[in-house]
Structures are given as structure tokens and as C-alpha cells.
């Protein structure tokens, strides 16, 4: 690669995956030396936040592994070759499957903020092993919302921030965490526009809250009372969109029944807010042309999270903010990462609800640490670091130790990989073709398949290649079919290939399950620029064409669904800055609504749950743990655990403990002092930052800190050394990480 050339790729630090243009060079030409925004990227259009400038810290980061590793009996690792690794791993997984059933092999991960192709390819390996239980980080944040969406809308919904006149951020700080394209530029423009209103509900005076027209500084953990009061205000003074609600929803009578006598003033007081400020907010929402809502971790990892997800949606549905400009919409997607939101299965040991196919993260350790006959006995972890990212790290380590086999696929020797029997080295997201399925824009949505910037380092491989080799080693890859398909593709091109491939899937259900790896080894090998990892997008393009042919046609892909799918697939492979694949309108949005086109207002279980609010929030003032610790705040220099090298941080290198001046005075600490944080399960030392961002009684530490590097360095606190598994939502099992009861003491 020439050094002056700019290559298109994407930032991999948050789900936005802004398009980047980079120059490579440096040592052996393997460094990212210059980065700028890619103007050709359909969503980010040249935008980047400051975090992207450090991407070389990911590409050439700490703790990289470049060879398959096997644990020795003394706990150290030895390098082994790929043949040995794939053969032994599949033999050991198969032995567990044959002795105890494939359902004892648990799968965790499948992708981070920038990579979702591992999840697509691993589905083949999981099918062969009969692994039916899985989870990912989504089951410690979003599953409550997915469940509510499923019941109300029969699909996922998103807020149309770029066309709304009222923007509502609930427990969300997009200035740091983004979540919408070009977030900072958006927030600046929006807050300056006198015709638009920004509402933020957050106990903290965040960067976003400072820009808001209305900042409801709710008491930590009391959003449920606030939203119940808002609905009561709408119902009791009949300020909801009566005609719209009658036409488009069912269940209004139940809502009126429950909220008509709810004591509004009392509930506002429980939330630490005045009736007047809540009234004003409700008025703005009721009068908005289109209001877009984003709820995030501030409530999703907090008390009553699933209930709040529901109440929040009732507020905007009652005001008619769905299926019109600037309101909520149902996005077009190639792969539905949110699943159906249905909860039809339970986890085998704890009997926890599995939502959208995912076991709640907070029960995984309990599913393992038991003598129950249905316990998980083996685990495959891919592109995730559950020891660091899930509640109660000690318990997760104990669980990993108890398993008969742990295999981790990662680019680095992580806190989780250290407990593996085998660690398989993945190439980084800049060393293989990669993509995410996190794009949900409207009215046009896009997809970005990124071309590698470098060859894989050492013996590392893409996940697509890893899963193929695992299945070839176990003899589960249908080699004869692969050979036949290769020949057909050469001789008859894609139409003949497609015909034979479809027929093969019809003849043998296993072929459909192995489709990703078969396509990788056949269609993938024939793709331009060695884009083999892109092969799995072909069936996804076809599914989309069959589902949403009109949307695809409006985006410029013509002909019958098969032709459309081929054009889209080729465009994705060729388009290095991302391509638009759908062009929706409001009719499309209504057409995608489930439940026969009517929004279901009543979720009986959650309406019943309102009873628990009657007693008001728990007062912790005089308990052993009087503080609400927000364990894992997004800040300037946090990016989950994607950067393992903390030298990228230009400020706040240890991740300070933020607290209010009042609390600091009582405890006797000032900025820069050390304090001890103690929770029910652990204790840690932190450097204090006194700031009037925080309310008295509320303290926070950042996420992503406290990684243990191979060279012995560590910076800041690993938040989950302090969080507990039991502290979780009643419905979705999601953790209360934003409200960890804690004690804070000065250190002399
Ligand atoms: N810089 C950066 N950006 C990121 C990430 C990162 O690590 N770093 N991670 C990405 C990921 S994986 C995710 S899921 C998103 C998360 O993005 P966010 O949800 O925006 O992130 P948080 O800072 O964890 O929490 C949001 C807000 O919740 C508030 N909060 C705390 N308690 C309460 C409460 O009781 N009620 C209310 N209403 N609010 C409360 C906090 O003050 C905080 O401002 O960010 C993504 N973007
Ligand atoms: N207390 C507390 N805990 C939290 C949070 C919080 O706010 N508070 N936030 C939670 C949230 S919202 C999330 S999303 C999770 C995130 O936590 P995780 O889901 O565990 O994911 P990441 O930290 O994003 O790290 C992903 C892993 O992928 C690896 N990786 C990077 N690129 C590749 C690749 O190309 N291939 C492979 N195979 N591996 C790769 C990285 O080395 C890293 O080990 O953390 C959660 N944990
Ligand atoms: S918003 Fe920032 S961190 Fe997120 S993808 Fe864009 S540049 Fe990267
Ligand atoms: Mo997340």
C-alpha cells in the first residue's frame, strides 16, 4: 500500500462506526498514521469524534495474540498450530455434546461495537455442536426494551432525531456515547434552533443536559415515578392524542383505568421534581410535531428498567409520536440484531426468561456454578470480555474455572482469555473484511462492509476462516458439496450456483445451518478483492429483497427480488465507504408494524408492576451503603475494552470517582484525594473529582477501566469487581449497574 493513499474503513469504538479514511505506514507499514472522516460515508459524512484519532492503539495495541494457545496444566499457555488447535477443540466440544448434549455448550459474544460477522459465521459451528443457549452484552442492557417493543409494536422501533422538533434523551448522554450519527454536530445545531426543544432526563448535569431546553434532574433510580406521573397527567387532563390513539392503538381503557387515579404530585416528589416542571415537559411532548426518544443505560441498567422502557413508550404513543415525521419508525435491516423481543424459553438452570434468544447475562455464572444436571459445561466466547464486562467478575472467573472446556476467540489476551483452555487469535477489524449490523437509519439506511488495511498479523485469522477450519477439522464441512458448488460457480455463474445451493438446502437441513461457511468457501473465494468474509451478506441481501423489495427498488436496485439481491450484494462488496440499501417512507413504517398494524398499549404484567411504586423509592440514607454508585459511565476517554492500551487517554487517566461538593465536604475529601468505594461484593480505591455535575448521594466511575495488561500495568477500577449478580431487573434480568449501593470513605 502506498503511504500517501487514503483507504476507506470505519471507526470501531461505538455502534455508529463512522466512516474513516486512513493512511498507513510506520513500522513495517503496519500502523495507522493518519485518520480523517470519510465524506463518502452515507451516515457520518466526514464526522468523527476525538476517540477515533487513537485507532492505532487498537491496531497495534497491547496484549495481542498471534498464535493459537493451549493451556498447560500449570496454567501457563503454549503455542500450538492451527491444525492441532481446531482438531482438539472440536474433539473436546464433541465429547461434551455426545456425553451431555450440545445444549451444555454455551456461546457468549459474537461481536463488539464494530464487528458482527463473527456471530454470523459462528452460527454454523454452534449448529454442529447443538449449542442452543447463548448470550451477549445486549442481554445486560437492551433485552428489557426488546421485550416491551415486541409486545407493543411487534418489532423494534427507533427515534427519527434528524427530523424531529422535540428530542428526548432518557438516561443517555449522546455527547459522549453517541448512538445517533454525527451526535455532537446534531446536538449543537439542535440546541441552537429556537423551533426545537431538547429534553434530557438525567440526575447528572452531563454535557448533553447542559445543552437541553428542559433538564429534568431526576433523583437516581426514580425514573419510574416520573414516567408514571407523566402518563397520569396525559390521561387525567385528557391531553393525549385522542383521535390518533383510537385509530391506531388498542387497550386504551386499561391505561385510563390504571392511571386515572395515580397521585401525580406525590410521584413527581418521589422523583425529586416539581409538578410544574413535569407539567411543562408533558405539554411540550403533547404539542410536538414529532418527538424522537432515546432511552439508554441510565435507565436500562437501573431499578425498574423494563417498567420504565414501557412507561416511556406509553408517553410518546399516547401523544401520537409514531409513524410520522420526526417520530418513532421501524427501520429497514439486513440482519435483525434485536430479534423478536419474544420470550418463549427459559434458561435451563435458573429458569430466567430468554428474550430475543439471549440468556440474561446476570444468570450465566449461576447456570454454571451448580450441580444441576442441565448446567452449562463448556463455553465458546467470541469477541467479548465477560470477566470484565459482566457483573461480579470474581463469580465469572469462578464459573469459567468450573467449566470443562473454555475456548476464547479474541485479538488479545483478555481478562476472560486468561481462563480459557484454548485461545484462538482473531485478526483485528483492520486485518479482515468486517461489518456491523447496528445501522438503523431512516428514511435511508445503509450498510458498510469494510476492506482490510493490513494482512493478518502472525497466525491470526478472520472468524469466518476460524469457523471453517473448526468444521473442516471435525469433518462436518460437506466437502463434496463445496467442490460441486465451486465448479458450478465457475461454469454457470451465480444463477446456476444459486439454484444448486437452494436445492441443497432443501435436501438437507444441515446445509442451511452451515450456509455461512459453505458460502465463505465457495462464493467467497470468487469475490473481487478477496472479500471472502463478505459472502454471508449474500443470503441477507436476498432475505431483505424478498421482505422489502419496494424499499430496495426506491434505493435504486431494480428487477425481481433475486436480481435486486445480487445487485445489492455486489454493491456492498464494491462500495468501500458504505452503500444505501433502503429508502423508506411513512407507509413502509406502518407496514412493518406487527399486531395487525395496531400498537398494543396494555402490557398486563407491567401494568400490575405499577403497584410496587406505591410505597415510593427506598430511602438508603441511613443504610450501610448510602450512595448510589453509577458503575460504568461513558466519558471522553472510554471505549468499552476495545483499547487495551490506556496511554490513548489524554485526560482522567485513572477514571476518577465523581461526587458532589456536599458529599465531598461530609466525607472530607477534595479533588485528587483517594477514597475507598465499598459495595456488597468488593472494594476499590479511587481518585476523587469533586464536581457539581453530581447530585448529593450520587457518585460515578467510568466504564472500560481496570484492564490487566500482560506487562503488569493497570489503570483505574474495573467496575464489575464492585457489582453484584443479584441486583437485576425482575423481568429482563438486566443489571442495576447505574445504581450500585456503595459506601465512600476518605483515605488518610
Ligand atoms: N465514549 C464512549 N462512548 C460509548 C461507549 C464507551 O464505552 N465510551 N460505549 C457504547 C455502548 S456499548 C453503549 S451501550 C452506549 C451507552 O451510552 P449511555 O447510556 O449514554 O452511557 P452511560 O454514560 O453509561 O449512561 C448514560 C447516562 O445515564 C445517566 N444516569 C445514571 N443514573 C440515572 C438514573 O437514575 N436515571 C436517569 N434518567 N439517568 C441516569 C448517567 O448520568 C449518564 O449520563 O455508549 C456507547 N458509546
Ligand atoms: N459495570 C458496568 N459494566 C458494563 C457496562 C457498564 O456501563 N457498567 N457497560 C456494558 C455494555 S453496555 C457493554 S456493550 C459491554 C461491553 O463489553 P463486551 O461485550 O465484553 O465487549 P467489549 O468491551 O466491547 O470488548 C470486546 C472484545 O472484543 C475483542 N475484539 C476486538 N476486535 C475483535 C475482533 O475483530 N475479533 C474478535 N474475536 N475479538 C475482537 C476485544 O479485544 C475485547 O476483548 O460492557 C458492559 N459492562
Ligand atoms: S462517534 Fe466517535 S467513537 Fe463512535 S464511531 Fe464515530 S468516531 Fe468512532
Ligand atoms: Mo453497550
Ligand 2 nearest atom to the CA of residue 412, by list position: 42
State the ligand closest to the CA atom of 46: 3
Cα distance between residue 678 and residue 625, in whole Å: 8
> Which tens digits make up the pLDDT trace of 196-240?
999 999 999 999 999 999 999 999 999 999 999 999 999 999 999
Q: Is 14 in the pocket of ligand 3 (CB under 6 A)?
A: yes
Ligand 2 nearest atom to the CA of residue 112, by list position: 24
What are the backbone angles phi and psi of residue 37, rounded to the nearest 5°? Answer: -70, 150
> Which tens digits make up the pLDDT trace of 72-107?
999 999 999 999 999 999 999 999 999 999 999 999
Kindly state whether residues 168 and 314 are assigned to the same domain: yes
* Biggest CA-to-CA distance, the chain: 80
In the block, residue with C-alpha cell 483452555: 421
Q: Which of 273, 306, 329 is the last residue of a domain?
A: 329
The CA dihedral of 243, 245, 247, 253, to the nearest 10 degrees, is: -110
Classify residue 55: in a domain, yes or no. yes
Kindly state whether residues 174 and 311 are assigned to the same domain: yes
Name beta bridge partners: 538.
none
* 723 and 740 Cβ atoms separated by less than 8 Å: yes
Residue nearest to atom 28 of ligand 1 (CA): 298
Q: What is the 3-state secondary structure (H, E, C) of 572-615?
A: HHHCCCCEEEEECCHHHHHHHCCHHHCEECCCHHHHHHHHHHCC
Cα distance between residue 202 and residue 217, in whole Å: 5
CA of 638 to the centre of ligand 3 (A): 11
Q: Is 122 in the pocket of ligand 2 (CB under 6 A)?
A: no
Classify residue 703: in a domain, yes or no. yes
Cα distance between residue 486 and residue 497, in whole Å: 8
Task: Label residues 6-16 b or e (16+ Cβ within 10 Å = b).
Answer: ebbbbbbbbbb
Per-state percent for the chain, helix, strand, coil, to nearest 5:
40, 20, 40
Ligand 1, pocket residues at CB < 6 Å: 14, 51, 141, 170-173, 176-178, 201-204, 206, 218, 220-221, 223, 296-299, 302, 630, 632-634, 638-640, 703-704, 738
Ligand 3 nearest atom to the CA of residue 20, by list position: 7
Residue 280 pLDDT > 60, yes or no?
Answer: yes
> Which tens digits make up the pLDDT trace of 682-730?
999 999 999 999 999 999 999 999 999 999 999 899 999 999 999 999 9
Q: Report CA Rg, the chain.
A: 26
Please report which confidence band the pLDDT of residue 37 belongs to, taking 50, 70 and 90 as the band edges. Answer: very high
Q: Which long-range contacts (CB under 8 A, 24 or more apart) does 473-476 make?
A: 473/83, 473/86, 473/87, 473/89, 473/90, 474/86, 474/87, 474/90, 474/91, 474/94, 474/128, 476/128, 476/514
Find the helix or strand (DSSP H, E) in which 483 lies: helix 479-507
Ligand 1 nearest atom to the CA of residue 49, by list position: 1
Kindly state whether residues 310 and 175 are assigned to the same domain: yes
SS3 346: strand
Ligand 1 nearest atom to the CA of residue 297, by list position: 19
Ligand 3 nearest atom to the CA of residue 17, by list position: 5
Name beta bridge partners: 294.
169
Q: Is 645 in the pocket of ligand 2 (CB under 6 A)?
A: no
Cα distance between residue 285 and residue 214, in whole Å: 11
Residue nearest to atom 10 of ligand 1 (CA): 14
Find the helix or strand (DSSP H, E) in which 345 lies: strand 345-346
Residue nearest to atom 4 of ligand 2 (CA): 389
Kindly state whether residues 54 and 168 are assigned to the same domain: no
What DSSP state is assigned to residue 441? -
SS3 232: helix
Classify residue 598: in a domain, yes or no. no
Task: Label residues 493-530 b or e (16+ Cβ within 10 Å = b).
Answer: ebeebbebbeebbeeeeebebbbbbbbbbbbbeebeee
What are the backbone angles phi and psi of residue 570, rounded to the nearest 5°? Answer: -65, -35
CA of 137 to the centre of ligand 2 (A): 7
From 140, 211, 298, the mutation candidate for ligand 1 (largest count of ligand atoms within 8 A of CB) is 298
Classify residue 241: in a domain, yes or no. yes
Q: Is 588 in the pocket of ligand 2 (CB under 6 A)?
A: no
Residue 748 pLDDT > 80, yes or no?
Answer: no
In the block, residue with C-alpha cell 465469572: 396
Tally the C-alpha atoms within 13 A of residue 75's C-alpha that lie toward its C-beta: 3
Other CB atoms within a 10 A radius of the CB of residue 192 amount to 9
Work out whether the CA dihedral 211, 212, 216, 221 comes out positive or negative. negative
Q: Which of 60, 82, 109 is the last residue of a domain?
A: 60
* 86 and 472 Cβ atoms separated by less than 8 Å: yes
CA of 297 to the centre of ligand 3 (A): 18
Q: Report the predicted TM-score, pTM, of the whole model to 2 decimal places.
A: 0.98
Kindly state whether residues 31 and 177 are assigned to the same domain: no
> Which tens digits make up the pLDDT trace of 319-374?
999 999 999 999 999 999 998 999 989 999 999 999 999 999 999 999 999 999 99
Kindly state whether residues 161 and 40 are assigned to the same domain: no
Pinpoint the alpha helices (H) of 47-102: 56-59, 82-100
| Total tally of structural domains belonging to the chain | 3
Which residue range forms the structural domain that includes residue 719? 619-747
The CA-based angle 632-633-636, given to 5 degrees, is 125
List the CATH number of the domain containing 32: 2.20.25.90
Residue nearest to atom 2 of ligand 3 (CA): 49
Kindly state whether residues 314 and 192 are assigned to the same domain: yes
Q: Which of 271, 301, 329 is the last residue of a domain?
A: 329
Classify residue 312: in a domain, yes or no. yes
SS3 689: strand
CA of 16 to the centre of ligand 3 (A): 6
Please report which confidence band the pLDDT of residue 621 belongs to, taking 50, 70 and 90 as the band edges. Answer: confident
State the ligand closest to the CA atom of 218: 1
* 720 and 389 Cβ atoms separated by less than 8 Å: yes
Kindly state whether residues 177 and 55 are assigned to the same domain: no
SS3 104: helix
Cα distance between residue 518 and residue 483, in whole Å: 10
List the CATH number of the domain containing 250: 3.40.228.10
Cα distance between residue 190 and residue 166, in whole Å: 9
The CA-based angle 183-188-192, given to 5 degrees, is 145
Kindly state whether residues 182 and 291 are assigned to the same domain: yes
Residue 2 pLDDT > 70, yes or no?
Answer: no
Kindly state whether residues 162 and 32 are assigned to the same domain: no
Check residue 4 and give its pLDDT: 84
Residue 457 pLDDT > 90, yes or no?
Answer: yes
Classify residue 24: in a domain, yes or no. yes
For the chain, give the mean pLDDT.
97
Kindly state whether residues 309 and 166 are assigned to the same domain: yes
CA of 382 to the centre of ligand 2 (A): 10
Percent of the chain with pLDDT over 90: 97
Cα distance between residue 628 and residue 744, in whole Å: 10
Cell of 552: 430496495
Residue nearest to atom 4 of ligand 3 (CA): 14
List the CATH number of the domain containing 694: 2.40.40.20
CA of 716 to the centre of ligand 3 (A): 23
From 299, 630, 640, the mutation candidate for ligand 2 (largest count of ligand atoms within 8 A of CB) is 640
Cα distance between residue 403 and residue 615, in whole Å: 43
Q: Is 381 in the pocket of ligand 3 (CB under 6 A)?
A: no
CA of 639 to the centre of ligand 4 (A): 10
Cα distance between residue 734 and residue 391, in whole Å: 10
Nearest to 12, CA basis, from 116, 109, 110: 116
Check residue 1 and give its pLDDT: 55
Ligand 2 nearest atom to the CA of residue 640, by list position: 23
Q: Is 302 in the pocket of ligand 2 (CB under 6 A)?
A: no
CA of 529 to the centre of ligand 4 (A): 33
Residue 110 pLDDT > 70, yes or no?
Answer: yes
Residue nearest to atom 33 of ligand 1 (CA): 298
Classify residue 101: in a domain, yes or no. no
State the ligand closest to the CA atom of 112: 2
Q: Is 414 in the pocket of ligand 2 (CB under 6 A)?
A: yes
Residue nearest to atom 10 of ligand 2 (CA): 389
Ligand 2 nearest atom to the CA of residue 382, by list position: 38
Cα distance between residue 465 and residue 281, in whole Å: 53
Residue 33 pLDDT > 90, yes or no?
Answer: yes
Kindly state whether residues 312 and 173 are assigned to the same domain: yes
Find the helix or strand (DSSP H, E) in which 512 lies: helix 509-513
Classify residue 53: in a domain, yes or no. yes
Cα distance between residue 16 and residue 10, in whole Å: 9
Amino acid at each position: 500500500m502506498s503511504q500517501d493513499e487514503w483507504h476507506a474503513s470505519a471507526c470501531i469504538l461505538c455502534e455508529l462506526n463512522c466512516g474513516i479514511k486512513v493512511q498507513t505506514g510506520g513500522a513495517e507499514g503496519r500502523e495507522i498514521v493518519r485518520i480523517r472522516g470519510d465524506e463518502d460515508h452515507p451516515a457520518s459524512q466526514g464526522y468523527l469524534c476525538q476517540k477515533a484519532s487513537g485507532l492505532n492503539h487498537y491496531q497495534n495495541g497491547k496484549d495481542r495474540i498471534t498464535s493459537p494457545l493451549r493451556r498447560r496444566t500449570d496454567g501457563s499457555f503454549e503455542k500450538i498450530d492451527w491444525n492441532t488447535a481446531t482438531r482438539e477443540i472440536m474433539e473436546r466440544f464433541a465429547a461434551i455434546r455426545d456425553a451431555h448434549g450440545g445444549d451444555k455448550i454455551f456461546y457468549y459474544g459474537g461481536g463488539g461495537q464494530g464487528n458482527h460477522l463473527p456471530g454470523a459465521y459462528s452460527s454454523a459451528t454452534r449448529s454442529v455442536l447443538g449449542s442452543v443457549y447463548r448470550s451477549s452484552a445486549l442481554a445486560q442492557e437492551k433485552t428489557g426494551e426488546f421485550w416491551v417493543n415486541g409486545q407493543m409494536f411487534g418489532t423494534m422501533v427507533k427515534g427519527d432525531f434528524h427530523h424531529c422538533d422535540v428530542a428526548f434523551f432518557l438516561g443517555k448522554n449522546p455527547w459522549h456515547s453517541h448512538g445517533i450519527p454525527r451526535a455532537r454536530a446534531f446536538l449543537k445545531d439542535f440546541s441552537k434552533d429556537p423551533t426545537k426543544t431538547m429534553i434530557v432526563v438525567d440526575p447528572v448535569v452531563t454535557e448533553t443536559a447542559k445543552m437541553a431546553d428542559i433538564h429534568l434532574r431526576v433523583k437516581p433510580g426514580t425514573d419510574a415515578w416520573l414516567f408514571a406521573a407523566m402518563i397520569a397527567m396525559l390521561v387525567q387532563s385528557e391531553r393525549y392524542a385522542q383521535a390518533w390513539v383510537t385509530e391506531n392503538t388498542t387497550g386504551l381503557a386499561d391505561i385510563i383505568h390504571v392511571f386515572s387515579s395515580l397521585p401525580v404530585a406525590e410521584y413527581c416528589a418521589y422523583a425529586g421534581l416539581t409538578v410544574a416542571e413535569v407539567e411543562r415537559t408533558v405539554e411540550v411532548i403533547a404539542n410536538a410535531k414529532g418527538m424522537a426518544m432515546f432511552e439508554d443505560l441510565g435507565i436500562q441498567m437501573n431499578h425498574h428498567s423494563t417498567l420504565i422502557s414501557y412507561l416511556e413508550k406509553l408517553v410518546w404513543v399516547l401523544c401520537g409520536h409514531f409513524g410520522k415525521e420526526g417520530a418513532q419508525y421501524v427501520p429497514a435491516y439486513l440482519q435483525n440484531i434485536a430479534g423478536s423481543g419474544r420470550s418463549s424459553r427459559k434458561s435451563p438452570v435458573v429458569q430466567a426468561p430468554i428474550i430475543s434468544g439471549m440468556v440474561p447475562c446476570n444468570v450465566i455464572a449461576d447456570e454454571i456454578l451448580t450441580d444441576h444436571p442441565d448446567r452449562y459445561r463448556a463455553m465458546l466466547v467470541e469477541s467479548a470480555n465477560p470477566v470484565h464486562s459482566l457483573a461480579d467478575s470474581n463469580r465469572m472467573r469462578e464459573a469459567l474455572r468450573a467449566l470443562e472446556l473454555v475456548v476464547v476467540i479474541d485479538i488479545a489476551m483478555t481478562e476472560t482469555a486468561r481462563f480459557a483452555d484454548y485461545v484462538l487469535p482473531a485478526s483485528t477489524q483492520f486485518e479482515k473484511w468486517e461489518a456491523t449490523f447496528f445501522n438503523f437509519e431512516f428514511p435511508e439506511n445503509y450498510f458498510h462492509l469494510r476492506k482490510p488495511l493490513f494482512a493478518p498479523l502472525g497466525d491470526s485469522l478472520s472468524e469466518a476462516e476460524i469457523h471453517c477450519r473448526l468444521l473442516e477439522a471435525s469433518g462436518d464441512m460437506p466437502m463434496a458439496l463445496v467442490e460441486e458448488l465451486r465448479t458450478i460457480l465457475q461454469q454457470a455463474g451465480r444463477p446456476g450456483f444459486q439454484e444448486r445451493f437452494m436445492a441443497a438446502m432443501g435436501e438437507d437441513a444441515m446445509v442451511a445451518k452451515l450456509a455461512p461457511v459453505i458460502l465463505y468457501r465457495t462464493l467467497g473465494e470468487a469475490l473481487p478483492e478477496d472479500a471472502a468474509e463478505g459472502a454471508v451478506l449474500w443470503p441477507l441481501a436476498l432475505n431483505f429483497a424478498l421482505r422489502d423489495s419496494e424499499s430496495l427498488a426506491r434505493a435504486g436496485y431494480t428487477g425481481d427480488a433475486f436480481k435486486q439481491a445480487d445487485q445489492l450484494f455486489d454493491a456492498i462488496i464494491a462500495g468501500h465507504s458504505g452503500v444505501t440499501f433502503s429508502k423508506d417512507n411513512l407507509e413502509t413504517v406502518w407496514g412493518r408494524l406487527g399486531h395487525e398494524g395496531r400498537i398494543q398499549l396494555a402490557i398486563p404484567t407491567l401494568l400490575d408492576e405499577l403497584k410496587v411504586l406505591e410505597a415510593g423509592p427506598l430511602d438508603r440514607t441511613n443504610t450501610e451503603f448510602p450512595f448510589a454508585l453509577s458503575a460504568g459511565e461513558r466519558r471522553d476517554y472510554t471505549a468499552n475494552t476495545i483499547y487495551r492500551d490506556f496511554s490513548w487517554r489524554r485526560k482522567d487517566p485513572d477514571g476518577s470517582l465523581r461526587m458532589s461538593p456536599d458529599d465531598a465536604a461530609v466525607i472530607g475529601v477534595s479533588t485528587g484525594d483517594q477514597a475507598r468505594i465499598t459495595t456488597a461484593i468488593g472494594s476499590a480505591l479511587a481518585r476523587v473529582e469533586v464536581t457539581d455535575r453530581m447530585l448529593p448521594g450520587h457518585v460515578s466511575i467510568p466504564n472500560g477501566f481496570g484492564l490487566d495488561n500482560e506487562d503488569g500495568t493497570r489503570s483505574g477500577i474495573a467496575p464489575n469487581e464492585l457489582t453484584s449478580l443479584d441486583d437485576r431487573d425482575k423481568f429482563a434480568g438486566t443489571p442495576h449497574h447505574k445504581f450500585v449501593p456503595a459506601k465512600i470513605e476518605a483515605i488518610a
